[in-house]
Amino acid sequence: MRTSIATVSLGGSLTEKLAAASRAGFDGVEIFENDLLASPLTPEEIRGRCADLGLTIDLYQPMRDVEAVPVDEFGRNLRRARHKFEVMRRLGADTVLVCSSVSPLAVDDDALAAEQLSQLADLAQEFGIRVAYEALAWGRHVSTYDHAWQVVEAAGHPALGTCLDSFHILSRGSDPKGIEDIPGEKIFFLQLADAPLLAMDVLQWSRHYRCFPGQGGFDVAGLVRHVVRAGYTGPLSLEVFNDVFRQAEAGPTAVDALRSLLVLQEAVGVAELPAPVVPTGVAFAELVTPDAEPVSAVLGALGFVRAARHRSKPVDLWQQGDARVLVNTGPAARRDGTGLAAIGLESPDPEGAARRAEALLAPVLPRRRAREDAPLEAVAAPDGTELFFCATGRPELPDWRADFEDVQHTPAASDIRRIDHLALTQPWHHFDEAALFHQGVLGLDAQESVDVADPYGLLRSRAVTGADGGVRIALSVGAAPADDTVHAQHIALDTRDVVAVARRFRAAGGLLLEMPANYYDDLAARFEFADGELATYKELGILYDRDAYGEFRHCYTRTVGRVFFELVQRDGGYRGYGAANAPVRLAAQHAARRLTGG
């Protein structure tokens, strides 16, 4: 189906919005009146700009407070409408959205509403324009889609149809099944938005919290299925009022928006994409650093050994069990300092995974490799993290490991088994996008989002996971501009005995993050521990949590650059990430940074 986006969904000037929509690959736009009013371009110039960009103008909107008013008021409304229709003729737009009245002048009289909308449609017809009547969820007398359709049906005018908006329908809990009772040709337009499930005033919810389909809690795909069954053949158009997107750069937001429509069309069954290839594990985490020494010291103290070196690049492979960390001292490191730059995801079909990512608009990374290197499929996540699709130790596929040459080493310790999870801090305006990317592109499941108190703000965190826990990524975002030291990325390592690993780490000179005594007093009140157990945790800074499935013990290394390590021990199938302990950990990191600057 054709794709469209309302200019109100993007930040910037009208010119910037149109360029972003076109570059992302949308077919058309809804021009929001305010964007036109604020533009220095004439309607003819906007029309030309859209044509040059390959965009159709699918809708002009909104007209407000038109119907069911006293006759002299309606006369003034028609005068206003004539002026707007003139503008639309100059724009070359043939459909206008009229939202249900919120005016105190409007009366509760469907026959009058139908009669006046019919007169409006008569006037529109003179201009070759169609009127699409939409029920605002907070409309004064008409606030549901079925009521708006009744009014339209009663008017029985060929130039009058209805506009369906998923937000207004789903926010009120209306059953979208009734959409199938509307003849498809009378659905003049379809606007799509999702939203997080919040208990709040519906107008505020709509104006500030809408998001792209798949980013919130509504079944937008289910609604679209009903609209398609009704016989609608117009565009799928995104209309998203969102405080964050308004402030963000239009280009990436438009790409994010179109990706959501691609995933939606796949779910509805009106478009096919290369099938998702769900990653089964983490092949490696790659750190870049200008100085390998501090990172190597931490890895060494954790029991990793430097097992191999890249044949053509300054990259070391550190390994313990199936946990692999690459330490890259190449040019990127000198630019960006110490940080997590790339993740290798173990994939059943690396090429298939890359094909899907590309179809879903993920930037495919150029293969900056020497001729003899294995051809690795890689794309960039929204935060810039490079994702490599890997096949480790599978002879029939290229193996990234073949680019590395073993170096002499003593055996590694054996109590760290694998990477348990990766925690990635997102830029503030990419959080919803990141969750949708990891679900839609990688085929991971998103868990509920949780809020975590930070001494200097609030952190929102959401995990995305593979079916069997082979891949776990915790995405988080702070309310304030990211503090590089505390809101760093981290690599969590799975151990069968966190106490033993923590002790060895400390004996080898490693620095663990210390936790306050009050935390342990509180733990003693909440749980029962064996004699001496709590004292051990306190000594090593180990945190404790429990869920319906099992227990969780974890502790943290001090931060190097923008990365730190977590040691985790999951027992009995514990599913979480110790979110209950995160406020204490964040406070401890702030305190450590103040004391030592690291």
Candidates 65, 134, 420, 566; binder of ligand DHB (CB under 6 A) is: 134
Residues 174 to 193: which contact ligand DHB by CB under 6 A?
191
Cβ neighbours for 353, distance < 8 A, ≥ 6 positions apart: 277, 279, 345, 347, 377, 389, 442
By CB under 6 A, residue 99 contacts ligand DHB? yes
Q: Which residue is nearest to Mg ion (CB)?
A: 165
Binding mask 185-204 for Mg ion (x = CB under 5 A): ------x-------------
Of 97 and 302, nearer to ligand DHB (C-beta) is 97
By CB under 6 A, residue 403 contacts ligand DHB? no
Q: How far apart are CA 514 and CA 40, in angstroms?
A: 58
Of 191 and 476, nearer to ligand DHB (C-beta) is 191
By CB under 6 A, residue 114 contacts ligand DHB? no
Of 206 and 319, nearer to Mg ion (C-beta) is 206
Please choose which of Mg ion, ligand DHB, none residue 206 contacts, taking the beta carbon within 5 to 8 angstroms, the exact cut-off set by kind.
ligand DHB
- C-alpha separations of 8 from 2, 208, 420, 497 in Å: 19, 12, 41, 53
- Residue 249 assigned to a binding site: no
- C-alpha separations of 476 from 278, 460, 592 in Å: 21, 5, 21
Q: How far apart are CA 492 and CA 569, in angstroms?
A: 10
- Residue 310 assigned to a binding site: no
Q: How far apart are CA 7 and CA 18, in angstroms?
A: 8
Q: How far is the CB of 188 from ligand DHB (least distance, A)?
A: 12
Please choose which of ligand DHB, Mg ion, none residue 62 contacts, taking the beta carbon within 5 to 8 angstroms, the exact cut-off set by kind.
ligand DHB
Candidates 30, 33, 65, 165; binder of Mg ion (CB under 5 A) is: 165
Of 38 and 535, nearer to ligand DHB (C-beta) is 38
Q: How far apart are CA 290 and CA 330, in angstroms?
A: 8
Please choose which of Mg ion, ligand DHB, none residue 207 contacts, taking the beta carbon within 5 to 8 angstroms, the exact cut-off set by kind.
ligand DHB
Binding mask 214-253 for ligand DHB (x = CB under 6 A): -------------------------x--------------
Residues 225 to 244: which contact Mg ion by CB under 5 A?
239
> Phi and psi dihedrals of 406, rounded to 5?
-60, 145
Under a CB-based contact definition with an 8 Å cutoff, are residues 566 and 554 in contact? yes
- Token pair of 157 as six digits: 């005018």
By CB under 6 A, residue 213 contacts ligand DHB? no
- Residue 165 assigned to a binding site: yes
- The one-letter amino acid code at 263 reads V
Residue of 492, 345, 493 whose CA lies nearest to 413:
493
Q: Are strands 457-465 and 472-478 parallel, antiparallel or unpaired?
A: antiparallel
Of 18 and 169, nearer to ligand DHB (C-beta) is 169
Query: Rounded to 5 degrees, what angle do the CA atoms 271, 277, 281 make?
Result: 155
Q: How far is the CB of 8 from ligand DHB (least distance, A)?
A: 8
Count of residues in contact with ligand DHB, rule CB under 6 A:
11
- Residue 429 assigned to a binding site: no
By CB under 6 A, residue 62 contacts ligand DHB? yes
Query: Rounded to 5 degrees, what angle do the CA atoms 375, 377, 380 make?
Result: 140
Under a CB-based contact definition with an 8 Å cutoff, are residues 575 and 549 in contact? yes
Q: How far is the CB of 241 from ligand DHB (least distance, A)?
A: 6
Of 226 and 324, nearer to Mg ion (C-beta) is 226
Count the neighbouring beta carbons within 10 Å of the beta carbon of residue 310: 18
Residue of 177, 119, 120, 116 whose CA lies nearest to 142:
116
Q: How far is the CB of 446 from ligand DHB (least distance, A)?
A: 26
- Residue 239 assigned to a binding site: yes
Cβ neighbours for 352, distance < 8 A, ≥ 6 positions apart: 274, 275, 277
- Residue 191 assigned to a binding site: yes
Q: How far apart are CA 304 and CA 140, in angstroms?
A: 67
Binding site feature residues: 134, 165, 191, 239, 421, 490, 566
Which chain residues interact with Mg ion by CB under 5 A? 165, 191, 239
Which chain residues interact with ligand DHB by CB under 6 A? 61-62, 97, 99, 134, 136, 165, 191, 206-207, 239
Binding site feature residues for Mg(2+): 421, 490, 566
Binding site feature residues for a divalent metal cation: 134, 165, 191, 239
